[in-house]
Amino acid sequence: MRTALITGITGQDGAYLAQLLLDQGYAVHGLLRRSASADVIGERLRWLGILDRVKLVDGDLMDLSSAIRIVGGIKPDEVYNLAAQSFVAASWQQPLLTGAVTGMGAVNMLEAVRIVCPQARFYQASSSEMFGKIQQAVQSESTPFYPRSPYAAAKLYAHWMTVNYRESFGMHASSGILFNHESPLRGIEFVTRKVTDGVARIKLGLARELQLGNLDATRDWGHARDYVRAMWLMLQQDEAQDYVIATGRTTSIRDFCAMAFGHVGLDWQEFVRTSADLLRPAEVEVLLGDATKARTKLRWQPSVTLETMVAEMVEADLARHRGRTAAPVATRA
């Protein structure tokens, strides 16, 4: 039986990846940071029905000694480093913490693997945010980076350190440069889930409006379940490399709103308000990925369309809120 260690197992991707690896017959261990809210922290794993099938071990990405202890104790075949302070907007408020977790934390994991389990295969969760102020209209593995936030700068450091450990120490270390991917398990602060949650609340009469920031930005959105499959495929290759994972379609926040509200028969323009407080100090205006390399070498391709994903997310949020419904908002014809 193969063994995997996932950092960030309580997050969106960690939960879906754990499910995929369990289905493949892996023993799955997850690094869990200590919390006073331990009862709610495994909510995504519980939602997927796998909380009791994964083994959670206490540790923190910022604590090298815990990383060494955990990697040395488990001796995993594969390590997926998904843990991060992953919310871009928060990274301007907490730049040092973001650097410590998202940047240095990845190096702690690389060091732990190098020192106590160098044969393990390593996956680093890199990000399309590293392209930032885009240098090419469509971004691939060869597109120059231009990070636009403390988060993106921290990810870029972790990305290059992963390349560095591969080239310096011969480690099987790969970076997946993943474009935005969403699901019903997406954190509530990210725009897609904020919108689908808002749609559900408004539809059920629990809220009257939804406040958003920049509606003009566009993102290349895929489904997290498809994207964790790409992570796994990267570690099954003989040679470690870096891959862009994207759908090749970009959509504005405005159009995403139209789709999500439209799913329940509402006109988004009646409910969405914009607030300058939600604008970022520097914006990534457009992202659009070219995943040709992944399609060719990994034989990976997305299976879920944006329309299907939006419907799944809205329905999941409706189900979550239905228990505490007030009067529903009338559906427009």
Would you state the structure tokens that stand for residue 253, as one six-digit string? 């926040």
Contact assessment for residue 5 and residue 80, using Cβ atoms and an 8 Å cutoff: yes
Is 197 a binding residue for ligand NDP by CB under 6 A? The answer is: no
The binder of ligand NDP chosen from 127, 218, 247, 250 (CB under 6 A):
127
Is 191 a binding residue for ligand GDR by CB under 6 A? The answer is: yes
Distance CA 184, CA 311 (A): 10
With CA atoms as reference, report the closest residue to 306 among 259, 267, 261, 240.
259
User: 127 catalytic, yes or no?
Assistant: yes
Decide: helix, strand or coil at residue 55: strand
Q: Do the strands 251-252 and 218-219 form a parallel or antiparallel pair, or are they unpaired?
A: antiparallel
Contact assessment for residue 177 and residue 130, using Cβ atoms and an 8 Å cutoff: yes
Q: Which of residues 102-121 bind ligand GDR (CB under 6 A)?
A: none
Q: Which of residues 125-144 bind ligand GDR (CB under 6 A)?
A: 127-129
30-38, 130-138, 290-298, 307-315 -> range binding ligand NDP (CB under 6 A): 30-38
17-25, 136-144, 212-220, 223-231 -> range binding ligand GDR (CB under 6 A): 212-220
Contact assessment for residue 78 and residue 120, using Cβ atoms and an 8 Å cutoff: yes
Q: Which of residues 217-246 bind ligand NDP (CB under 6 A)?
A: none
When the beta carbons of 22 and 217 are compared against ligand GDR, the nearer one is 217
Distance CA 180, CA 69 (A): 32
With CA atoms as reference, report the closest residue to 15 among 185, 238, 217.
185
Per-residue contact string for residues 235-254; x = within reach of ligand GDR by CB under 6 A = ------------------x-
When the beta carbons of 17 and 240 are compared against ligand NDP, the nearer one is 17
Would you state the structure tokens that stand for residue 115, as one six-digit string? 């020192």
> Shortest gap between Cβ of 263 and ligand NDP (angstroms)?
21
User: 165 catalytic, yes or no?
Assistant: no
Give me the residue whose beta carbon is nearest to ligand NDP: 11
Q: How far is CA 88 from CA 168, 291, 321, 331, in A?
A: 30, 23, 27, 34
Distance CA 205, CA 312 (A): 20
Per-residue contact string for residues 153-192; x = within reach of ligand NDP by CB under 6 A = -------------------------x-xx-----x-----
Per-residue contact string for residues 62-91; x = within reach of ligand GDR by CB under 6 A = ------------------------x-xx--
Residue type at 177?
I
84-92, 160-168, 233-241, 291-299 -> range binding ligand NDP (CB under 6 A): 84-92
Distance CA 26, CA 3 (A): 5
Neighbours of 79 (CB within 10 A): 28
User: 129 catalytic, yes or no?
Assistant: yes
Given the residues 66, 91, 126, 127, the one annotated as active site: 127
List the single partner that 12 binds among ligand GDR, ligand NDP, none, CB under 5 to 8 Å by kind.
Answer: ligand NDP
Decide: helix, strand or coil at residue 314: helix
The catalytic site residues sit at 127, 129, 151
Residues that bind ligand NDP (CB under 6 A): 7-8, 10-14, 31, 33, 35, 41, 60-62, 82-86, 101, 125, 127, 178, 180-181, 187
